[in-house]
A and B are shown apart, each in its own frame.
Chain A
Amino acid sequence: MSEHIEDPTSCEEFQEDLTAIALGTLSGRRRSEVLRHVESCPQCAIELEQLSMVADAVLHLAPEEDPPIGFELRLARRLRADAAPRQTNRFRRVRYLAAAALIVVIGFGVGALVGSQNTNNTSQSTANLASATLSSHGQNVGEVFVSGGTPSWMFMTIDSHSWSGLVTCELILANGKVENIGQFGLSGGYGSWGAPLTSRAGQVRSARLTTASGVVIASANFRA
């Protein structure tokens, strides 16, 4: 340590600032001054490194918690949006992520949600996966997925920033029949939900959400 020429008393004045840098709470000119000192002071460099490790260690204490159902699907959608402008092969990755997430959500999450235990047809489901944008007054407010298989499943995620309360999900089939799939709650415009279908997935032409008074608040159209 013969190269260490800093006056030890000058290092003392940096102690609190080193802690603040480690905690990420010091910025601006003072931060630059302290880091300049650290560059020329091996003792303070070690001090900063160890304090940073302590600060990092505290982050590991947060208890784990399951994110809401549909998290992976919504993440896949955001990853897709993030990747779109770059036109990279992330598309492939995101599509896989979405499909794989759907396998889990449909096979396990939704199954648990409705009390059904049918997880044997997951490969069929992904082989016949269809999705459609849920829109309201021209705005994209979510996404609806329908998977094939026996039974078929539907899953949707919505983030409208408006409606709250109970909404009903209806499917319009190729023969014009309207099928009531069930109800779920929106909180602050936000919600995700899924259910098994009594009809075949290929028969679904559109999906819509209605309020208790029958007003359609959002809809999604699938390709025929």
Chain B
Amino acid sequence: MDSDTDGVSDEALLSGMAVGDDRSGLTFVRRYQRRLFGLAVGIVGDVGDAEDVTQEAFIRIFRHAQVFDPRRGSVSTWALTITRNLAIDSIRVRRGVPTDPEDRVFVELMSTARLPDAAALASENVSNIRSALGKLPVDQRRAVLLAALYGRTALQISEGEGIPLGTAKSRIRLGMARLRTTINIEEAL
């Protein structure tokens, strides 16, 4: 049904959406709904809430397709960032205070024993990122994931983990610095 748009780049699809091309919008939704929903459900935990978050993310993407600037990053990162921010907002609204994430995504990413999802890691670049994360000391990995995925500040992490604020800041900073030197950033995204 979408054969004429299946091979089109993300950027081209956004351009099509911006001028009201129906097939571009449909193809974009089909291409990204599993990724955005996977991230959303990983952060908020609840399937219904995750669907709300994912749908709101798509609405914003449709709404702002015409102002997307490819010089500032990839479409996939843009879409995932929108979803991540909405998911964090959703948690804040519903729970008021952050709770300890014990969801599947967090637990799997914390584990170095296995990759989280074969389909998600089909790309070698994504696999490299996962590998780099797995090489971090556990404390740093946890701090980086709490901050990057769940939007936790250093203060929230220090309170949640029961560690001094300075220690939380160091774990985040050192973890991020190590990731930066381990992965080939230019190829990673």
Query: Binary interface profile of B, 80-99, with partner A (CB < 8 Å = 1, else 0)?
Result: 11001100000000000000
* Tally of contact residues, A, Cβ under 8 A: 48
Complex contacts, B76 vs chain A, CB 8 Å: 60
Q: A50-B180, A59-B39, A97-B29 are in contact. Are A188 and B48 (CB under 8 A)?
A: yes
Complex contacts, A188 vs chain B, CB 8 Å: 48
User: Is A84's beta carbon under 8 Å from chain B?
Assistant: no
Nearest CB to that of B60 among chain A residues?
A82
Q: B44-78: which have CB < 8 Å to A?
A: 47-48, 50-51, 54-56, 58-59, 62-63, 73, 76-77
Contact status A25-B41, CB under 8 Å: no
Contact status B29-A62, CB under 8 Å: no
- Shortest CB-to-CB span from B171 to chain A, Å, is 11
Cα of A59 to Cα of B116 in the assembled complex, Å: 13
User: Is B149's beta carbon under 8 Å from chain A?
Assistant: yes
Complex contacts, B51 vs chain A, CB 8 Å: 67-68, 71, 74
- Shortest CB-to-CB span from A189 to chain B, Å, is 9
Query: Binary interface profile of A, 31-64, with partner B (CB < 8 Å = 1, else 0)?
Result: 0000000000000000000110111111111111
Complex contacts, B151 vs chain A, CB 8 Å: 23-25
Contact of B154 among A20, A58, A63, A190 (CB under 8 A): A20
User: Which bucket holds chain B's interface residue count?
Assistant: 35 or more
Q: A74-B55, A93-B25 are in contact. Are A61 and B109 (CB under 8 A)?
A: yes
Q: A83-117: which have CB < 8 Å to B?
A: 88-90, 92-93, 96-97, 100-101, 103-104
Contact status A190-B176, CB under 8 Å: no
Contact status B133-A58, CB under 8 Å: yes
| Interface class of chain A by DSSP | helix
Nearest CB to that of B88 among chain A residues?
A24
Some 27 contacts from A to B, beta carbons below 8 A apart, are: A15-B173, A20-B147, A24-B85, A25-B151, A50-B185, A53-B189, A56-B189, A57-B183, A58-B133, A59-B39, A59-B77, A61-B126, A62-B42, A63-B38, A63-B42, A63-B105, A63-B119, A63-B120, A65-B37, A65-B42, A68-B47, A72-B29, A79-B58, A79-B62, A96-B26, A100-B26, A188-B48
Closest 5 CB pairs of A and B: A63-B117, A96-B22, A62-B39, A65-B38, A58-B148
